[in-house]
Amino acid sequence: MKLTFEVSARISKSVEETFEYVVDPDKLSSYFTTGGAKGRMKTGATVIWDFHDYPGAFPVKIVEVEENRRIVLEWEAYEPGYDGPKYDTTATMTFEPLDDNTRTLVTIREEGWPSDRETALKGSYGNCMGWSHMLAGLKVYAEHGIILRDGMYK
Protein backbone atom coordinates (compact mmCIF):
# COMPACT_ATOMS: atom_id res chain seq x y z
CA MET A 1 0.00 0.00 0.00
CA LYS A 2 1.19 3.51 -0.83
CA LEU A 3 0.34 6.64 1.18
CA THR A 4 -2.19 8.91 -0.53
CA PHE A 5 -4.04 12.11 0.40
CA GLU A 6 -6.59 14.38 -1.22
CA VAL A 7 -7.45 18.05 -0.59
CA SER A 8 -9.91 20.33 -2.34
CA ALA A 9 -11.29 23.85 -2.43
CA ARG A 10 -14.00 25.78 -4.23
CA ILE A 11 -12.78 28.81 -6.16
CA SER A 12 -15.25 31.52 -7.19
CA LYS A 13 -13.97 31.71 -10.77
CA SER A 14 -14.80 29.76 -13.92
CA VAL A 15 -12.92 26.57 -14.72
CA GLU A 16 -11.06 28.35 -17.52
CA GLU A 17 -9.90 31.19 -15.23
CA THR A 18 -9.01 28.85 -12.37
CA PHE A 19 -7.08 26.47 -14.62
CA GLU A 20 -5.08 29.41 -16.01
CA TYR A 21 -4.11 30.49 -12.46
CA VAL A 22 -2.40 27.11 -12.11
CA VAL A 23 -0.80 26.44 -15.53
CA ASP A 24 0.49 29.97 -16.20
CA PRO A 25 3.92 30.39 -14.52
CA ASP A 26 3.47 34.13 -13.91
CA LYS A 27 0.13 33.64 -12.19
CA LEU A 28 1.37 30.63 -10.19
CA SER A 29 4.38 32.69 -9.06
CA SER A 30 2.06 35.39 -7.76
CA TYR A 31 0.46 33.27 -5.05
CA PHE A 32 2.35 29.94 -4.71
CA THR A 33 5.85 29.57 -6.16
CA THR A 34 7.14 32.73 -4.52
CA GLY A 35 10.66 32.28 -5.91
CA GLY A 36 9.18 31.90 -9.38
CA ALA A 37 7.87 29.25 -11.73
CA LYS A 38 9.52 28.70 -15.11
CA GLY A 39 7.63 27.07 -17.94
CA ARG A 40 3.96 26.66 -18.69
CA MET A 41 2.43 23.35 -17.62
CA LYS A 42 1.80 21.25 -20.71
CA THR A 43 1.99 17.53 -21.39
CA GLY A 44 5.59 16.29 -21.48
CA ALA A 45 7.15 19.50 -20.15
CA THR A 46 9.45 19.84 -17.18
CA VAL A 47 8.87 23.09 -15.35
CA ILE A 48 10.88 24.58 -12.50
CA TRP A 49 9.32 25.69 -9.24
CA ASP A 50 11.14 27.79 -6.65
CA PHE A 51 10.02 29.11 -3.28
CA HIS A 52 11.63 31.91 -1.24
CA ASP A 53 10.95 29.90 1.91
CA TYR A 54 12.22 26.50 0.68
CA PRO A 55 15.85 25.94 -0.32
CA GLY A 56 16.48 25.63 -4.03
CA ALA A 57 14.50 25.35 -7.23
CA PHE A 58 13.42 21.89 -8.35
CA PRO A 59 12.00 20.23 -11.48
CA VAL A 60 8.35 19.23 -11.82
CA LYS A 61 7.59 16.75 -14.62
CA ILE A 62 4.23 17.38 -16.26
CA VAL A 63 2.89 13.97 -17.22
CA GLU A 64 -0.43 15.09 -18.67
CA VAL A 65 -2.50 18.22 -19.10
CA GLU A 66 -6.12 17.96 -20.14
CA GLU A 67 -7.16 21.58 -20.74
CA ASN A 68 -9.51 22.92 -18.06
CA ARG A 69 -9.97 19.43 -16.57
CA ARG A 70 -6.83 17.79 -15.19
CA ILE A 71 -3.08 18.12 -14.57
CA VAL A 72 -0.90 15.16 -13.61
CA LEU A 73 2.63 15.88 -12.38
CA GLU A 74 5.50 13.94 -10.87
CA TRP A 75 8.31 15.20 -8.69
CA GLU A 76 10.91 13.86 -6.34
CA ALA A 77 9.33 12.65 -3.12
CA TYR A 78 9.79 14.84 -0.09
CA GLU A 79 10.77 12.56 2.78
CA PRO A 80 12.69 14.36 5.57
CA GLY A 81 15.42 12.25 7.14
CA TYR A 82 15.37 9.51 4.51
CA ASP A 83 18.68 8.88 2.71
CA GLY A 84 17.71 5.85 0.59
CA PRO A 85 17.00 5.68 -3.14
CA LYS A 86 15.18 8.64 -4.69
CA TYR A 87 11.69 8.16 -6.11
CA ASP A 88 8.81 10.29 -7.37
CA THR A 89 5.30 10.89 -6.15
CA THR A 90 2.38 11.73 -8.44
CA ALA A 91 0.00 14.64 -7.92
CA THR A 92 -3.24 14.88 -9.88
CA MET A 93 -5.21 18.12 -9.96
CA THR A 94 -8.78 18.08 -11.22
CA PHE A 95 -10.99 21.06 -12.09
CA GLU A 96 -14.77 20.64 -11.95
CA PRO A 97 -17.24 23.39 -12.90
CA LEU A 98 -19.88 24.27 -10.30
CA ASP A 99 -22.91 26.58 -10.30
CA ASP A 100 -23.11 27.11 -14.09
CA ASN A 101 -19.31 27.50 -14.22
CA THR A 102 -19.20 30.49 -11.88
CA ARG A 103 -17.20 28.40 -9.38
CA THR A 104 -14.66 25.59 -9.69
CA LEU A 105 -13.93 22.65 -7.44
CA VAL A 106 -10.18 22.03 -7.48
CA THR A 107 -9.07 18.69 -6.05
CA ILE A 108 -5.44 17.64 -5.57
CA ARG A 109 -4.54 14.02 -4.87
CA GLU A 110 -0.94 13.02 -4.25
CA GLU A 111 0.30 9.45 -3.90
CA GLY A 112 3.37 7.28 -4.00
CA TRP A 113 5.07 7.29 -0.59
CA PRO A 114 5.72 3.84 0.90
CA SER A 115 3.58 3.15 3.94
CA ASP A 116 6.30 1.40 5.95
CA ARG A 117 8.46 4.42 6.94
CA GLU A 118 7.73 7.20 9.39
CA THR A 119 9.80 9.58 7.22
CA ALA A 120 7.46 8.86 4.29
CA LEU A 121 4.43 9.58 6.47
CA LYS A 122 6.00 12.89 7.54
CA GLY A 123 6.75 13.72 3.91
CA SER A 124 3.17 13.06 2.86
CA TYR A 125 1.87 15.21 5.73
CA GLY A 126 4.20 18.02 4.67
CA ASN A 127 3.00 17.90 1.08
CA CYS A 128 -0.62 17.71 2.22
CA MET A 129 -0.07 20.94 4.15
CA GLY A 130 1.66 22.49 1.13
CA TRP A 131 -1.16 21.66 -1.28
CA SER A 132 -3.74 22.88 1.24
CA HIS A 133 -1.92 26.19 1.43
CA MET A 134 -1.63 26.30 -2.36
CA LEU A 135 -5.41 25.99 -2.65
CA ALA A 136 -5.99 28.63 0.04
CA GLY A 137 -3.52 30.92 -1.71
CA LEU A 138 -5.20 30.32 -5.07
CA LYS A 139 -8.61 31.13 -3.60
CA VAL A 140 -7.70 34.43 -1.96
CA TYR A 141 -5.47 35.55 -4.84
CA ALA A 142 -7.94 34.69 -7.62
CA GLU A 143 -10.92 36.11 -5.75
CA HIS A 144 -9.38 39.07 -3.89
CA GLY A 145 -5.83 39.69 -5.16
CA ILE A 146 -4.29 38.92 -1.76
CA ILE A 147 -0.97 37.05 -1.55
CA LEU A 148 -1.56 34.72 1.39
CA ARG A 149 1.86 33.02 1.34
CA ASP A 150 3.86 36.23 1.84
CA GLY A 151 5.61 35.91 5.21
CA MET A 152 3.74 32.73 6.11
CA TYR A 153 6.77 30.46 6.49
CA LYS A 154 9.60 32.80 7.44
What is the DSSP track for 68-126?
TTEEEEEEEPP-TT--S---EEEEEEEEEEETTTTEEEEEEEEEEEETT-HHHHHHHHH
Compare 2 and 6 and report the one with higher pLDDT. 6
pLDDT recorded at residue 52: 81
* Rounded Cα gap, residues 88 and 60, in angstroms: 10
* Contacts for 55 with CB less than 8 Å, ≥ 6 apart: none
CATH number assigned to the domain with residue range 2-32+66-144, chosen from the 4 options 3.20.20.10, 1.10.10.1100, 3.20.20.80, 3.30.530.20: 3.30.530.20
Average pLDDT over residues 114-126: 95
pLDDT recorded at residue 65: 98
Q: Where do the domains of the chain lie?
A: 2-32+66-144
Share of the chain above pLDDT 70, in %: 99
pLDDT recorded at residue 81: 93
Q: What global pTM score does this model have?
A: 0.95
